[in-house]
Every structure is written in C-alpha cells, then in structure tokens.
Amino acid sequence: MNAQALKTETTTDRHPLAGQAMSGAEVIVQVLADEGVGVMFGYSGGAILPVYDAVFRYNAEHACADGSEPMPLVVPANEQGAGFMAAGYARASGKVGVAIVTSGPGATNMVTPVRDSMADSIPLVVICGQVGTAAIGSDAFQEAPISNIMGACAKHVFLVTDAAQLEATVRTAFTLARSGRPGPVVVDVPKDVQNTALSFRGTGELALSGYRTRLRAVEQATLGDADCATFFHALMQAQRPLIYAGGGVIAAAASAALRAFVDAFGLPVTTTLMGLGGFDSTDPLALHLLGMHGTAYANYAVEDCDFVLALGARFDDRVAGVPDKFAPRAKFIAQIDIDPAEIGKVKPVGWHHVGPLQRALERLTAYGRAHGFKPQLAEWHAHVAELKRVHAMNYDRASALIQPYAVLEAINRHTRGRAIVSTGVGQHQMWAAQYFDFRAPRHWLTSGSMGTMGFGLPAAIGAQFAHRDKLVIDIDGDASIRMNIGELETVTTYNLPVKVVVLNNVGDGMVRQWQKLYFKGRFAASDKSLHKKDFVRAAQADGFEWARRLERVGELEATIADFLAFDGPAFLEVMIDPDAGVYPMVGPGASYAQMITGDFIASRAAAVVREDSSSHMF
C-alpha cells in the first residue's frame, strides 16, 4: 500500500469529532450516539446531572427534521422501572438496552433489573453517577459502593476513577454486553470524572486481553468433519430424537438456522420459557413449552425420547428439577452453547460444541444434507401428534366464572402469535406461556430465571419504544402489577399504545397454589381480598381513556375485541376464577411422568403430590 492510500484510509476511518474538546459527560453521550443508541431510560439526580445535561444539549443540537429527539431519555416512576424498560427494549429489539441513573438509591434501585438481566442473558449498559472520587468511601450523601454491590449481579462493573479511561470504558461496556453470552455491564462514573475536560478520541477500547482471548476462541470455534460425523452417527441410531431449545436460540439469532435444521432432519422441538418464539409454536413439530409448567405433551415427549439435542439451554431446575429423572430414556444427549460453563453442568452429555449457535446449526445442516442423512421418523412424528391430541391444554369451559385461559385464548385469536407479549411473574405468566402462540423470536418478554414481579409493565414500555408500530400487550396479575404500578403514568405520558391486562384473582395466585398443595391451605400473606385497590380508577387517574373491568363471561369476547382495537393505551382488569390453577405442574421431587395435570388435561400416570416434599422449586 502506498503512502497516499494509507493517508486516505486513515483520514476516512478517523471519527469526525476526533480531537474535539469535550467534558466527560459529553464523551459518554457521544459514545452512546456512536453505538447507535436510539432511546435511554433513567431517573435524574445530583451525581448524574452532568450527563443528563449533556443528553439534553445533544438532543437539542441534533434534533430531527420533525423536531423529535435522536436519542430521547425516557423518565419512569423509579429506577427499577428504568432498568426493566431498558431490558424490555433489549429483549424486543436484540440491541443493547441503556439505563442512566444517579448514585446511591438511584443505583441500588437498578440492582434487581441488572441481576434479572444477568440471569436471562440480556445485554444492558447501565451508567451510574457516583460521588466525587475524593469522597468515595466517606459515606458521602447518596453514596453506595456500587462496584461491590453490582459485582455479584452483573457481567462486569467498571468504576471509572481515571477520566482518561472513560471513553474507552464506555465503548468497551457495549462490547462486553453484547458479546459471547450477553449480559448487563455497569459503568460507575464519579461526578468529577463527568466534569473533567477531555479530548475525544473517537475510537479505542480497553485491552481486556484475557476476556478477548477467551471470546475469540469461542467465536472462532468450528465443527470439524469428525465432530459432525459423531453427531450424525448418534442421531441416525435414534428413533425418537428431540430438540430442547432455550433462550440461547433467540440471543444468538439462530431461529432461522433452527428452522432449516428441523426442515432437513425432522426433529420435534420443545422450548424453555426463555426460548418461546425461537421456533414457531404453531408448527406441527412444535411441542411448545416443557418443564415444571410445560405442556403435558411436551413433557411426555421428553419422557419418551431417546436422543436430546440441547440448544442454548442450561437444564435449569424448572426444566430438569431432578436431573437423573430428566429424559430417562435418552441414550445420547448433545449440547451446543456459547458458554463453556454450561456444558455438562447439570446433565452429563455425550457430545458438545462451544461456539456460536447459528454457525453450528448451519454447519450441521450442511454436513447432514451433503452426506444424505435423513432420519426416518414417521412413527415418532405420529407419536408426537398423538401426544398433542390426547394431552392437549384444556380447562373448565363450562364454568360460570371467567377462566384466565379463556381470556388468553380470546386475545390469541386476535393476535395470531404476532403480538409482543410481556408478563409479570406468577400464575398469569405461566398461563400466558401456555396459551399464547409465538411465531417469531423476541415476541415473548418475561422474567425467567429471577422471576421478578413487577417486570411486565415496564418491559412492555421498553418493547413499545423498540417497536412503535407493533401491538404490545402486558399480561399481568393483581399482585405483580402492584410492584411497578407507577409506570402506568409512563405509558400515558409518552402516549404509548400499550395494552395492559390484569388477571385479578385477588391474591398471590401462584403462592396460594403451592400453599394449597403443600401447606394444607394455610394462605399466609397471600390473600389480598382485604386490599382496597381499584385498578380501573388507578388507570384512569394515570390518564388511560380506555379502562374497564370485565366480570361477566358473556361479555368476554366483545370486551377483548374492543380493548385490542382501541387506538391508544388501554387497561383491562379481568376478575377471574380465584381458584384457577396452573396445570400441568411437576411437583418437587417428581418426574415428568408424575406431573399433576389437573381435572381437564388427560394424564397417563398417577400424579405425585407429597405434602412433605421440599418446596425449593417454587
């Protein structure tokens, strides 16, 4: 390359603002813009004011032709709401979600969303203000040791005490959040660092040589011919192979690759709670959800299968509560994951690959097709179809009380698996997972591993910012929505057409179900019948023009249609049967063969309900 060409390339690659004088706060905002951040969520406070001011000035200077802000900062009712909004945005879009909060209580309010995102492998970058560097450790006003607190919850935490490292640190935070197994990264920035005069470089990240070396090894990992041959040798010996797909399918954008693999080799697919939407749940080979509250037919298929291919799934306790009893007839288990720590962690595997899931599936598909492998699975397909017919989801359709399942079925008929659905945590969460169709990834947003009540409403807000033109529905419970009910006002403040459904069974339904089964009906602290909350009036007070309560079965269909058709924010409270339960249910210490299917779903074995069982699986 000649000198002129080198000079041209260097000039072209140079950031247009390189060398410009900026404050630390302005550097943070410029890096956010360079990373393509389209919206941020956060609540202001003293220690983050320089960044908030820089955001304000950036948006004013770069206003769009229509007057809108290029990088709006959405203000919630509290910081936990901001964290879940950022997580909802990330889950729905696949991009890194961003939250910006102040020090002390502002930052500690972010702990739960950060841990929730870490548990579900969701990419976030959280910018926290911090007291000045000279005051750190002095118990200054609104000081909290965030690097210590968040260190146990996040993928990584940075405390920036050297202003010269600020730009590279924020840029590195995005790389860490989205690379490998995604997760939340926290950047704690003292106020004096935000105010320091700096020269913007426009490029560069921290070295992190150990992380980058490990990441490079994983991302460059490939399946050789011998690896593929071993896999297909085992697969061709199987008569009842099954794919167990987790949230990693969605995180890796491997849905299309999974579809191609299934089309080529005909393996039925069951998904975890986090994997819903990774494979079209309306497909004949889809078995929907497996696990503790999975469909009976999926769990029976796991009992019957002789080969398991685990994709981006970690055999967690909600799926493999008793590992030795999970897939007891499987002669061969294969596992593909981006995280080497997950390989064989719970269940020994006979074949594994650590690397990008999409590329691994594409390689296996190409190899299998090139070598003419075509498993003969007609009998297994017929068996799966029969399981789905005989053990279909069902409930008391003749009840005079509104059944939650009927509400969700009615919504599903309108949305046809195309709505973005978020949930709180509890019975309503499981009912939504069971009774909705999910035809594409990133349409199902729920707190899986952490099970955080109050997740649904702010996550729906974040998702609506990610997809302004899509139907976003929060399916919530009367107990769960209380946790972040202040975000109803956020919906109307930003005029978001989010649809909120509260399935009201006057209490903590999932807790009561366990108390009924394992604690002889002692409903300690789970009965909310004495509470006085009027949810409809609360929604109206927060600006919802459409806010109604549904109490009669005969009005269900018309009300649902009107609710979904409303052009703007809408709130629907449904008074459901307080005794409605989540079935199927695999109790603690039980195998899938022993699951409780309730009165309306056919079972092929006696269920196990032991009052002396440990209830650690709640």
Question: Active-site residue 594, yes or no?
Answer: no
Question: Active-site residue 155, yes or no?
Answer: no
Give the number of other Cβ atoms within 10 Å of residue 134's Cβ.
10
Question: Active-site residue 528, yes or no?
Answer: no
What does the block give as tokens for 320?
């493999």
SS3 95: coil
Give the number of other Cβ atoms within 10 Å of residue 39's Cβ.
20
Question: For the sheet containing 420-423, what is the strand order?
Answer: 444-445, 420-423, 472-477, 499-504, 570-575, 546-550
Give Cβ neighbours of residue 581 (< 8 Å, ≥ 6 apart).
Answer: 427, 513, 598
Which helix (H) or strand (E) segment is 309 a member of?
Answer: strand 307-311
Q: Are 118 and 181 in contact (CB under 8 A)?
A: no
584 cis-preceded (ω within 30 degrees of 0):
yes
Q: Phi and psi (nearest 5°) for 176?
A: -65, -40
Question: Active-site residue 438, yes or no?
Answer: no
What does the block give as tokens for 38?
């389209």
Among 22, 118, 453, 510, the active-site one is 510
SS3 81: helix
Amino acid, single-letter form, for residue 199: S
Among 56, 141, 374, 386, the active-site one is 141
Give Cβ neighbours of residue 147 (< 8 Å, ≥ 6 apart).
Answer: 157, 158, 159, 186, 188
Q: Phi and psi (nearest 5°) for 413?
A: -65, -35
What does the block give as tokens for 537?
């009036």
What does the block give as tokens for 431?
């009912």
Among 155, 191, 499, 528, the active-site one is 191
Among 142, 165, 358, 540, the active-site one is 142
Q: Are 271 and 439 in contact (CB under 8 A)?
A: no
Give the number of other Cβ atoms within 10 Å of residue 463's Cβ.
29
Among 22, 35, 40, 79, the active-site one is 79
Question: Active-site residue 566, yes or no?
Answer: no
Active site residues: 79, 141-142, 191, 510
